[in-house]
């Protein structure tokens, strides 16, 4: 966690965009290790693949089309800093009412999990619980996430695509 905080601090202070992209990839790998430590290996693999892999490559491609240094802001961005801090404080305040991590008496462990484990064979008939939840109970959510990722990828490809001029365009 300390390495993640240091990485974010260095990213915020840096004006070299190549360094920011590389540090962003490092941050994603560090986040993936935290997720592995929390036994969320599937999410960690997604973070490593999308956050560190694909995003870093796409940012490097976009950086190829831009300048390598970020311009200094004309004025001090105090309002966006205040809004970001206020939103962060509200999010932290919202987590105070959550049950402790891995609390066996949390509502998810007393209501949702037993239903999935006991009734999944009759309702879905898929032996793997994770697959059944993602493909059946959360099927529309998974479809939506896949659509968002596909649309984002198509948009990035459309932005990074270079057009070749035809001889007709050169004469005009």
- Per-residue model confidence as pLDDT tens digits over 74-102: 777 788 889 999 999 999 999 998 888 88
Tens-place pLDDT, residues 38-58:
877 778 888 888 888 888 888
DSSP 62: H
164 has a pLDDT exceeding 60: no
- Helix (H) or strand (E) run with residue 152 in it: helix 139-160
DSSP 8-state secondary structure symbol assigned to residue 40: -
Count of CB atoms situated within 10 Å of the CB of 154: 10
Quick check: pTM over 0.85? Answer: no
**Per-residue pLDDT reduced to its tens digit, 131-156:** 788 778 777 887 888 888 888 778 77
Nearest in space to 41 (alpha carbons), one of 51, 49, 32, 50: 32
Tokens of 17: 């965009």
The tokens of 135 are what?
């493909």
Taking the C-alpha atoms of residue 105 and residue 99, their distance in angstroms, rounded to an integer, is: 8
Any idea what DSSP says for residue 128? -
In sequence order, what are the residues at sequence separation of 6 or more whose Cβ sits closer than 8 angstroms to the Cβ of residue 117? 129
CA 166 to mean position of chain CA atoms:
39
Is residue 33 very low, low, confident or very high in pLDDT (cuts 50, 70, 90)?
very high
């Amino acid at each position: 966690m300390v390495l993640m905080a240091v990485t974010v601090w260095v990213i915020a202070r840096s004006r070299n965009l190549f360094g920011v992209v590389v540090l962003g990839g490092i941050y994603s790998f560090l986040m993936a290790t935290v997720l592995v430590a929390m036994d969320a290996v599937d999410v960690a693999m997604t973070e490593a693949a999308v956050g560190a892999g694909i995003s870093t490559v796409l940012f490097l491609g976009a950086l190829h089309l831009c300048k390598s240094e970020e311009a200094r802001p004309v004025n001090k961005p105090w309002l966006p800093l205040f809004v970001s801090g206020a939103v962060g404080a509200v999010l932290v305040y919202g987590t105070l009412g959550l049950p402790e991590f891995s609390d066996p008496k949390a509502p998810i462990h007393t209501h949702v999990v037993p239903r999935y484990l006991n009734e999944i064979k009759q309702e879905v008939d898929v032996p793997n619980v994770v697959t059944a939840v993602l493909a059946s109970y959360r099927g529309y959510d998974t479809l939506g996430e896949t659509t968002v990722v596909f649309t984002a990828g198509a948009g990035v490809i459309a932005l990074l695509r270079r057009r070749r001029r035809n001889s007709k365009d050169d004469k005009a």
